[in-house]
Copies of this chain bind each other. A is one copy, B any other.
Amino acid sequence: MPPIVSDEYKQKKKREILDSAQQAFGEKGYQVATIDDIVAYSGMSKGAIYNYFESKEDIYVQLMNLRTERTFEFFEESLKEYKTATEKIKFLFKTYADVELNEDRQKSIQVHVEFFINSGRDAEMKKLMVDRFKDIYQKFLIEIVEEGKKVGEFGTHVDSNIISSLFWGILDGVCLHYSVLGADEYPYQDIMVEAEKIFMQYIQK
């Protein structure tokens, strides 16, 4: 007899739980948010959640994976329309700048930054984070920068590894401050625009 519940259904459930976790973690942070918070957001029972995930940490790691996956799916897809490396990087800045307009994405980034912080404290987690950073974030930007250098858009003085690290550092740093200080106190979009200028001016030519 075939399984009554389809894989699709299970995937949907997992997504629902991860979305609830995103909300809970976004609201209170990973450490402070409880399974009961996730339960409250999801409308499921505690047991149901443990049917899909092994532990709170498992939820956390899988949420991290999902987020990265979604982000880069979006980037890959969006960047297809842009031909030059310059346009691509400008699009990335713009995307992050626009986050302000979308509270979900805002929370999402906050959780992502918190991931970073917590990760450093657990060896296994740290390895995950390091791999993610190198294999996905860095790789993604290095390719664009190299492309720009080859075509002559960017100067030869640009070290694509260093500059990529710096790029993500700037983004995370500004997002971090924005996530804490809030729109009232922190002119996030203006700062992002300035960040773009500073960055582009340096690498171009």
Contact = CB atoms under 8 A, between A and B. Distances in A.
Interface of A: 27-29, 31-32, 110, 113-114, 116-121, 126, 129-130, 133-134, 159, 161-163, 165-166, 168-174, 176-177, 179-182, 185-187, 190-191, 194-195, 197-199, 201-202
Contacts of A121: 27-29, 32
Nearest to A28: B121
B130 A185 contact: yes
Contacts of A194: 159, 162-163, 166
B29 A180 contact: no
Main secondary structure of the interface of A (DSSP, over half): helix
A195 B166 contact: yes
A194 to B, nearest CB: 5
B114 A110 contact: no
A120 to B, nearest CB: 4
B170 A169 contact: yes
